[in-house]
Chains A and B, each alone.
Chain A
């Protein structure tokens, strides 16, 4: 890919200009910092912005394609140095284990305002007029039913390896639905796409920021507001006998890194630690890539040029 050669060419050029004076604080500028590129566009955007900030500080950056679920062993081995968009709601158990062993670290939150919940494409409101209030779901259940779930309604849950948040909430809220695990993100998207095209009913577990939120006009069901108490105390919430009778607590999205990062590249660690990105900034860039079909590098470079105020101070503070 061109991005790799770009990084290799641009890195040394910048390093020559800046590196000489700040070498001690910058650390090993000659060795590339490897950032993980996972499976979704939002992550590509977050990573490229962070990567270009590091390059502006004089580092070499290499973007490494990596499976989101499988990258932590590589991170612990120092083969990947950081992943800039990790979702707490869906993080491999291995990360927790390796963090406890001190092999990987949680660098800091990214600042993306994530939301998860029961969702539906806009046209479903016409089929089940009580939406978005969650109380309407019980009466609409037969409409959401399919051959696999009859007589209950169908809720398309996250893939099984992401856990079963949908099934837990159905049980908690006592809704007459059956959760069907999706198998993969592609399956979730295909369901949204087919439902929007056929104008058929669909209740699905979904999250933002995600490009499909706007592409299929996805809306969230209004569940009782999530609080920690809801998950521990059965008495809390509309169902007195169960936990999980409420909405998701907003997920923290953070940056994870190799344990040796801060020592090897002190300034870079500081940059990543202070790097913040808002949903409002990320979502249009995702659209430019997924809907308009432009390349991530190009879109991010444009954004960097136009929004220097949002990232330059972070880089300057770390380097000077």
Chain B
């Protein structure tokens, strides 16, 4: 909430003329006070009454069911049509003898990026082959190969449309946001009903998820095309269609290729998640099977296959953008010829062992697994200690408040009313001191924070939460955002999802807080020390591309089922953007600013504090924004290790094929993510304006 404070604005205003930040703070404190006073008198203030819950999930379920039945025949035609390219690529990649696909990729690498890329391809695919998951990996690759063109076409279409039709641009951007924030698990059930059983569902799910990055980059690229080029095209009388195809898209190609890269990565990560519904023997299914048996070594091995693919695709698509790196096509053709020959030989004679017979890395997996066992055995007591400390002094008070969390067997005593009074008095005194210094916003933050610690996030009275969300929305983005935030929370309450939503906010909020601190510190470290970045970077890359399921096993082994394991799993994934954006923001401080500061005799520490960090603030806020979205995304996966909240609801709905519950809970999740996104974007935009960027 301290983000709401804009130092520039605060300095400019006289002490008692209220700026927007101060007014927001006052509204929040007032709402909290009124609800706290009324809650004991009016039960409907303390908790949303059951009688007010509308049958939203049932209505959504039956309405959606009717609609899906309506468009089912068309959808079945689509899945029938997609089954053909799917079968073809699967045959070519997975069912044909492995030397064929192996050699084909090496030839491609050679042509795209020369000998160095060919060597990288050999090493990567060699690893995949040795892992023993060749067939499964190739099935995954076949899925990606069919879904990516779909996603690219969809993304290109939306991007061009958004650029050409200014009026619907904002609406289209909201659509893109929704496509990225609604958890995939939530729309797997409707997709299953629509497209029927089989790999096509995973294919479509990943195309939906992967299209937005493409669309955004297309739009960005088109916006950056020099208007003069377009003007010149108009002068020589090209049609709109000609202009788009022949002038705009080629001119924006650099940015569009970034979109292609992001699109492929997103598709790769999503096919793994979609494996939950089954229907295809791919690497995601393998990860799930190994997770089911708590075989960490094997799950990690299967997960590393995805990391290797992601790395290879990333490097190859980067090389694709640089025509000067092309290798000799004749050698590439020769390699291809040899691999076709090897494929034929392997087919007819069986001299080359089949992919299923190769499992060179099994001992490594067994070793990793044994290592996990040893570690758990040796550190069981210490791990319990860590977990109990975190639960007793951090998570429990945050969730249910000091009032309920402090008990003789947690803190050693019982919390009573007197202690609450003391704590409130202390906070009140602190706030008074801050007021006296003119820090109104800081004072309210202190008061609100103390109140939350006393009551607990999940037990906050709903009117206070609704008002606070609306007030923050107003502060960050005006009346529109205020209405959106307030109404969203009311809708969640009316749908009977309030408790689950607050649990989700509590868990992701705790994770974001930790990620902001740890990620910010690590990003800072990476910015000042190139060595630290060299160590951190591959870790970040791995954490971002490895299937999320893999993290869950060790967390469970160390800390058992529950919120603490879930919290750590969420943090492991969501911390990455915070590190990246913080480092990026600090490193990219303009050289003239740095020189000016050096010239005026700033020490290294002063430079960091007064120049680099303020300059990096917008970038860090963007990192925070991404961290929030990542935390929400991981929340659904964390339901696999026994969290409650919206993620669990989505998971239950998937199991029961409950359309209404799944879609409602998914929508609630998306609303929370969108509100958080808009709030942070609003503050980031203000920081940028304050910095004159």
B657 partner, pick from A64, A73, A159, beta carbons under 8 A: A73
**Residues from 132 to 160 in A contacting B, C-beta threshold 8 Å:** 146-148, 150-151, 156, 159-160
CB distance from A203 to the nearest CB of B (A): 12
Q: Are A70 and B278 in contact (CB under 8 A)?
A: yes
- State the majority secondary structure of interface residues on B: helix
Q: Are B391 and A147 in contact (CB under 8 A)?
A: yes
Chain A residues, CB < 8 A from B362: 293
Q: A80-112, CB under 8 A of B: which get 1 and which 0?
A: 100000000000111000000000000000000
**B24 interfacial contact with A, CB 8 Å:** no
Q: Are A150 and B409 in contact (CB under 8 A)?
A: yes
Q: Are B392 and A147 in contact (CB under 8 A)?
A: yes
**A72 interfacial contact with B, CB 8 Å:** yes
**A242 interfacial contact with B, CB 8 Å:** no
Q: Are B291 and A77 in contact (CB under 8 A)?
A: no
Q: Are B276 and A187 in contact (CB under 8 A)?
A: no
When A65-B280, A183-B561 are in contact, do A74 and B196 touch as well, CB less than 8 Å?
Answer: yes
Instruction: Choose the segment among B264-272, B590-598, B635-643 that binds chain A (4+ C-beta atoms closer than 8 Å).
Output: B635-643
CB distance from B203 to the nearest CB of A (A): 15
When A1-B135, A182-B561, A191-B561 are in contact, do A66 and B197 touch as well, CB less than 8 Å?
Answer: yes
Chain B residues, CB < 8 A from A79: 196-198
Chain A residues, CB < 8 A from B606: none
Cα-based distance from A156 to B560 in the complex (angstroms):
10
Cα-based distance from A200 to B294 in the complex (angstroms):
18
A161 partner, pick from B95, B279, B280, B654, beta carbons under 8 A: B654
Cα-based distance from A77 to B196 in the complex (angstroms):
8
**Residues from 248 to 307 in B contacting A, C-beta threshold 8 Å:** 276-281, 285, 288-289, 291-294
Closest chain B residue to A204, Cβ basis: B561
**B356 interfacial contact with A, CB 8 Å:** yes
Chain B residues, CB < 8 A from A186: 291-294, 552-553, 556, 640
When A65-B278, A66-B278, A92-B657 are in contact, do A161 and B652 touch as well, CB less than 8 Å?
Answer: yes
**A237 interfacial contact with B, CB 8 Å:** no
Q: Are A160 and B652 in contact (CB under 8 A)?
A: yes
When A156-B561, A180-B561, A186-B291 are in contact, do A161 and B651 touch as well, CB less than 8 Å?
Answer: yes
Q: A265-302, CB under 8 A of B: which get 1 and which 0?
A: 00000000000000000000000001001000000000
Cα-based distance from A246 to B384 in the complex (angstroms):
33
**Residues from 373 to 390 in B contacting A, C-beta threshold 8 Å:** 373, 376-377, 380, 384, 387-388
**Residues from 197 to 256 in A contacting B, C-beta threshold 8 Å:** 197-198, 200, 211
**A194 interfacial contact with B, CB 8 Å:** yes
CB distance from B506 to the nearest CB of A (A): 14
Q: Are B377 and A148 in contact (CB under 8 A)?
A: no
**B648 interfacial contact with A, CB 8 Å:** yes
A187 partner, pick from B278, B285, B556, B657, beta carbons under 8 A: B556
**B192 interfacial contact with A, CB 8 Å:** yes
Q: Are A69 and B654 in contact (CB under 8 A)?
A: yes
Closest chain A residue to B188, Cβ basis: A70
Q: Are B95 and A5 in contact (CB under 8 A)?
A: yes
**A123 interfacial contact with B, CB 8 Å:** no
Q: Are B278 and A193 in contact (CB under 8 A)?
A: no
Q: Are B377 and A147 in contact (CB under 8 A)?
A: no
CB distance from B624 to the nearest CB of A (A): 28
B277 partner, pick from A67, A72, A148, beta carbons under 8 A: A67
Chain B residues, CB < 8 A from A146: 560, 562
Cα-based distance from A166 to B26 in the complex (angstroms):
47
Q: Are A80 and B197 in contact (CB under 8 A)?
A: yes
Cα-based distance from A115 to B396 in the complex (angstroms):
36
**A184 interfacial contact with B, CB 8 Å:** yes
**Residues from 168 to 211 in B contacting A, C-beta threshold 8 Å:** 188-189, 192-193, 196-198
Cα-based distance from A186 to B289 in the complex (angstroms):
9
Q: A10-39, CB under 8 A of B: which get 1 and which 0?
A: 000000000000000000000000000011
**A40 interfacial contact with B, CB 8 Å:** yes
**A49 interfacial contact with B, CB 8 Å:** no
Chain B residues, CB < 8 A from A189: 292-294
**A181 interfacial contact with B, CB 8 Å:** yes
Cα-based distance from A203 to B410 in the complex (angstroms):
22
Cα-based distance from A142 to B380 in the complex (angstroms):
18
Cα-based distance from A246 to B91 in the complex (angstroms):
53
Cα-based distance from A290 to B294 in the complex (angstroms):
12
Chain A residues, CB < 8 A from B648: 160, 181, 183
**B656 interfacial contact with A, CB 8 Å:** yes
Chain B residues, CB < 8 A from A182: 561, 641-642
**A190 interfacial contact with B, CB 8 Å:** yes
CB distance from B660 to the nearest CB of A (A): 13
Chain A residues, CB < 8 A from B639: 183
Chain B residues, CB < 8 A from A67: 276-279
Cα-based distance from A161 to B188 in the complex (angstroms):
16
Cα-based distance from A72 to B657 in the complex (angstroms):
9
Cα-based distance from A5 to B281 in the complex (angstroms):
14
A binding-site residues for B, Cβ under 8 Å: 1-2, 5, 38-40, 64-74, 77, 79-80, 92-94, 146-148, 150-151, 156, 159-162, 180-187, 189-191, 193-194, 197-198, 200, 211, 290, 293
Q: A147-B388, A194-B380 are in contact. List 15 more A-B contacts (CB 8 A).
A: A64-B279, A69-B657, A70-B277, A74-B279, A79-B198, A92-B655, A92-B657, A150-B410, A161-B651, A183-B641, A185-B292, A186-B294, A187-B561, A198-B376, A200-B380
Give 16 A-B contacts (CB < 8 Å), ordered by A residue: A1-B281, A39-B289, A40-B292, A66-B197, A69-B656, A73-B196, A147-B388, A147-B396, A148-B563, A161-B652, A182-B642, A183-B642, A186-B293, A187-B561, A200-B380, A211-B293
Which 4 A-B pairs give the minimum distances between C-beta atoms?
Answer: A74-B197, A161-B655, A67-B278, A198-B380
